[in-house]
Structure 1
Amino acid sequence: MRETDENTGPTRRDYLTYGGALLGGGVLAGCAGQSGGDATTTATETATATETETEATETATETETDDSSYTAELSPVGTVTLDEPPTNVFTHFPWFPDMASALGQGDTVNNLWWDGTVAGLEYFTAGFDDFEIEWADAAGEYGFTKEKLYELDSDLHLVDPAWVSTQDNWNQADIDEVADNIGPWFGNYYSNFNSTPPEEWADGYEYYDLWDLFERVGSLYGERERYEALQSVRDDQLTTIEDGLPPESERPTAAYLSISTDLSSIYLLRLNAPGYWNAHTRPLGAVDAFGDEEFTGPFQEVDMEALLEADPDVILALWTVTETFDFDGLKQNLQDDPVGRELAAVQNDRVYPQGTRWQGPLMNLFQTEMTAKQLYPDQFGEWPTYEDGDDYPDFGADEQLFDHGRVEEIVTGENL
């Protein structure tokens, strides 16, 4: 329920109902396990303050069907309800623009960070004839200001306010102000690898997988049909993979790396961790070459000697799948390096390009297929040799681990 000023009347966002009221500590009411005395008091005071002005519309609201509003609940923001689908949406991290495109709503995105998202999605969807990345020109800089959000005047901010609270020049009052005067927040950043949110947001913070988050975004857009159609494709893909996986004892060891072309920096990523950053590797159940080694943050730096000690059967090289990265140069430098050339993955030509861990559902479908073929060529078909600038391979229907044509139909709205 939105609070209004008695002197000025409702804000221009009156058609948006922000169901989770912000609490002083940064946690929002409406999340499971987060209700308490303060939340109850806030909700009561808000209801009392607005009872008179909403009395005239209350009866009409009660008679509306569920289809007349667009509602989703997400930790840590609580419940967000829109009376209309959003048409002007602020995003920052790449998985949300991917979701918007998957739902046929790419034209609503007014901002994102990291233009590599565009190159990545172009690579994976190169075989879609009628698909357009409508937010291709919306890429900006990392971070954002409150002034920029006022300028963009968005209906919805697909960003986790808990993450926003960690950024320079943002405090709780600013977060509340944006929600009240512009449009609600909706995001859950720390489900990335189930990392720890800021202390003031940690109580009751819940984690979701990528497709759970996608479902909730689909509800806000009023695109349940598209979401359910894509979820069905994903379910079929996972079933195909689960049925085809070899016994654990026969699975390869793999190192998931962010590695520079000149080998000057090598960072290890988690392979099988929970969270949406591993949504394409975790279902494949390969053996992490570095075992159960624990580390804080998303990366851990390693050197070539540590990599040789682990000696993975397969190296998955993150961020390398498009022509913006010199993948051929990386492979040549590994072969020329006195330590690198000793690696089993190098000797057996099993160093493979990867896309991004910042994946939405579209990239997730393709990256899961790609990685399955890289890890298990005998079961799922070989991944072809990749050269810089190649598009995603045009696999025949019998080689696909999901129905590419069906996904194109869904996202373009040809056949829901």
Structure 2
Amino acid sequence: MTGTEESRDAPTRRNFITYGGALLGAGLLAGCTGDTPAETTTSAASDTATAGQTTETESSSYTASMEPVGELTFESVPEKWVAYDGGYADMGVALGKGDGMTGIGGSGRYYTQVYDELPGVSVNRDMLEANDLGEAGMSKEIFYELDNDVHVMDPQMLINWFDWSEEDVAEITENVGPFFGNLIFRREDDWHDYRYYTLYEAFEKVAQLFGEQERYEAFAELHNAFIANIQTKLPPADDRPNVLLVYEGSNEPEEFSPYRLNDKGTSKKQWRDLGVSDALSGTGIQGLSTTDRGRIDYETMLEIDPDVIMLRAHERKSAAEFRDTVLAFMQEHSLARELTAVQNEQVYRGGYLFQGPIHNLFLTERGAQQLYPDVFGEEDGDTKLFDRQRVADIIAGEF
């Protein structure tokens, strides 16, 4: 470890990073106010609402802002960076900054296999797994060791999940580099009392951070056209299924952690864009959060009897492997086999907890094929709903 007292006292990257007044003193992590933007299920354009532009000054410094931290001023574009979750990591890769990523908060939930379908796009998986902040207990020592220019994560998450103090956040900000991020994958945590962002609003903020507005705009254009094309082909609303989204990693699941599709978190974006309804609506069952760790069993699921069940935590499996393990177990289970979704074989992998713009293209394509195979092709078939080469070109800076 290099997080020694000597290294902590040495000159650091803070010499070329300055901070807006909102970051100084007790206001460093004060809960910010501001309206939470509306997000609809019918318009992809709402995900690309302009969230502010990079501001250039005469000295070539520039600013980027995002709640809860506020405005940061940079003298140069950050080169070394780390994200807590795969969604923000994916944003960095989309902006052509994958080579500068030194680690990840949880490598097991950062699904990089989709990059294999994008010519020329890859990340250093071995390095990310070696520098797993989660495996290191999110300790301050690993932040010193990696010595990044910026930490793309919500500092309030560190305080509420990992027992950091505001003083700890201030220490790493001053001695290593600032934080820039907002926990957006769900909207059910009471401690998150400041503005949320949609996926593309957060993506635009990260584009500000890295000075990559053109790449962002190219992605937003591709995304909007992709979603609009899919939505024009969806069945009428009355013919669309309701979906129960749950989490359980076992191949022989007995209980599940529920998620609510209507909380507008980015991890459910594809389901809203695909026009499905939340099977838990009106049940009184709340989604998984910091304070609510409730579970549901097959008896509860039978009372709901959803049209489709989406099960998270099986993303290392192929569609066929999932059917041969999890679905096969449910088909033999004395209660699970009574579920309509099980009888109709409409139990699928439920997508990533953390998704960025590249992930979202793949997950939306997969979700469309899971739900509407007669329209969009089979989940594990050969039909492609977006141009892989075009995505790779944008990442490479070829607009």
**Normalising by the residue count of structure 2, what TM-score does the alignment of the two structures yield?**
0.82
Query: Which residue identity is paired with 1:223?
Result: E
CA displacement at 1:150 relative to structure 2: 1.7
Q: Is residue 229–residue 410 contact of structure 1 (8 Å, CA) maintained in 2?
A: yes
Tell me how far 1:86 sits from its aligned partner.
1.1
- Identify which of 308, 318, 327 aligns with 1:331: 327
Q: Which amino acid aligns with 2:83?
A: T
Please give the alpha-carbon distance, in whole angstroms, between the structure 2 residues aligned to 1:133 and 1:357: 19
Q: Deviation digits for residues 257-307 of structure 1, max 9, x if unmatched?
A: 223211233222112321212122122221222223341534641111221
The counterpart of 1:314, out of the listed 308, 317, 323, is 308
For 1:12-411, list aligned pairs within 5 A. 12-19=13-20, 20-24=22-26, 27-28=29-30, 63-64=58-59, 68-118=60-110, 120-122=111-113, 124-139=114-129, 140-142=132-134, 143-168=137-162, 170-189=164-183, 191-196=184-189, 198=191, 202=193, 205-259=194-248, 260-293=250-283, 294-295=285-286, 297-298=288-289, 300-323=294-317, 327=322, 328-384=324-380, 394-396=382-384, 400=385, 402-411=386-395
RCO greater where, 1 or 2, for CA within 8 Å and sep 6 or more?
Answer: 2
Structure 1 residue 183, shift from structure 2 partner: 1.0
Partner of 2:64, secondary structure, is: strand
Which letter maps to 1:195?
A: E
- Cα deviation 1:151-174 (Å, max 9, x = unaligned): 221100111111122245521222
Cα gap change, 1:312 to 1:237, in 2 (>3 Å): same
DSSP-derived class of the 2:104 partner? strand
Instruction: List gaps (5 residues or longer) in structure 1.
Output: 1-7, 34-60, 385-392
Distance 1:21 1:29, change over 3 A: farther
In the aligned structure 2, how far is the partner of 1:340 from the partner of 1:167? Answer: 34
Contact 2:257/2:288 (8 A) holds in 1? no
Q: In the comparison of the two structures, how many residue pairs are matched?
A: 359
Q: Residue 269 of structure 1 contacts residue 300 of structure 1 at CA under 8 Å; is this kept in 2?
A: no
Distance 1:351 1:296, change over 3 A: closer
CA contact (8 A) 2:64 2:71 kept: yes
Contact 1:377 1:383 in 2 (8 A): yes
Tell me the alpha carbon deviations over residues 343-372 of structure 1, each in whole angstroms, 9 at most, x when there is no partner. Answer: 222222222223312111111111011112
Question: Residues 227 and 134 (structure 1 numbering): CA distance in 2 closer, same or farther, change over 3 Å?
Answer: farther
How far apart, CA to CA, are the structure 2 residues paired with 1:182 and 1:245?
49
SS in structure 2 of the partner of residue 17 of structure 1: strand
Please give the secondary structure, in 1, of the residue aligned with 2:263.
coil
Contact 1:318 1:354 in 2 (8 A): yes
Shift of 1:394: 4.2
Label 1:308 to 1:16 Cα distance change in 2 as closer, same or farther (>3 A). same
Q: TM-score, normalised by structure 1?
A: 0.79
Q: Which moved more, 1:87-96 or 1:299-308?
A: 299-308
Structural RMSD (CA): 2.7
- Counterpart code for 1:16: I
Q: Could you tell me how far 1:194 is from its partner in structure 2? A: 2.0
How many percent of aligned residue pairs carry the same amino acid? 35
Give the 3-state SS of the residue equivalent to 2:116 in structure 1: coil
Gaps of 5+ in 2: 1-8, 36-55
